[in-house]
Amino acid sequence: MSTKEMRKHSGVVSGFLKGLANRDRLLILCELAEGEKSVTSLIEATGIAQTSMSQHLSKLKDENMVSFRREHRTLYYFISHDAVRDVMGVLHQHFCKESKT
């Protein structure tokens, strides 16, 4: 994990992390971690406003974190980058474990 090595990649990596570093986008990615979802069902599940959802998805697309396929009028989004799943896994472990009852 040398600095020299990271220096080469820090632009891409920080971009990736910026994609993740937002409450709403974390919720979206949690939903997508379960499998592909339509935009409408993401809106229902998260309560995020439609326009806002579209912008967040667009940002996630820009960072190559998600992709989508169209079926009729509906777009189905899904996680398209393994690093997303792995990072979410680590975050879940460290931040989402129940404390003892």
Partner DNA sequence: ATATGATATCATGAATATATAAATTGTAAA
Partner DNA sequence: TTTACAATTTATATATTCATGATATCATAT
**Rounded Cα–Cα distance for residues 18 and 31 (Å):** 18
Interface residues with DNA (CB under 7 A)? Answer: 18, 21-24, 38-40, 43, 49-59, 68, 70, 72-75
9 binds, among DNA, a copy of itself, none (CB under 5 to 8 A by kind): a copy of itself
Residue pair 19/63 in contact by the 8 Å Cβ criterion: yes
Query: Quick one: which of 27, 39, 43, 75 contacts a copy of itself (CB under 8 A)?
Result: 27
Contact string 1-20 vs a copy of itself (x = CB under 8 A): xxx-xxxxxxxxxx-xxx-x
DSSP assignments along 61-99, one per residue: HHTTSEEEEEETTEEEEEE--HHHHHHHHHHHHHHSPPP
Which listed residue (51, 70, 73, 95) binds a copy of itself by CB under 8 A? 95
